[in-house]
Amino acid sequence: MIYHMKTATVADLRNRFSRVSKWLADGETVQITKRGEAFATLKPARVARGKVTWPDLAARRDRLFPDGPPPGKPISEIVSEGRGDY
């Protein structure tokens, strides 16, 4: 497989940067030329993202209220009353 790198001139960077930045956002490597000669290579930044871990809210609820929910109105009713009629 032959890989064709995108090419832009220094003038393209000055005048059409939005197009070049879209290539970078899409994961493309861009070769920059100056007076027809290769001048630089721009590569997209790779940001290492870790897996998002969500808290176990059910376990927290069970720790806080081991005998079940506290007596009284459910939270949904309290919130509805607080909002009032619209």
**Residue 65, CA distances (Å) to 18, 55, 78 in order:** 55, 17, 19
Domain range annotation of the chain: 6-42
Element (H, E) at 15: helix 10-15
Return d(Cα 80, Cα 8) in angstroms, integer.
58
- On whether the CB atoms of residues 13 and 20 are closer than 8 A, the answer is yes
Give pLDDT, residue 84.
78
User: For the structural domain made of 6-42, what CATH number should be given?
Assistant: 3.40.1620
Whole-structure pTM value: 0.49
Span 16-40, pLDDT tens digits: 999 999 998 888 899 999 999 999 9
Q: Which residue has tokens 């790198």?
A: 5
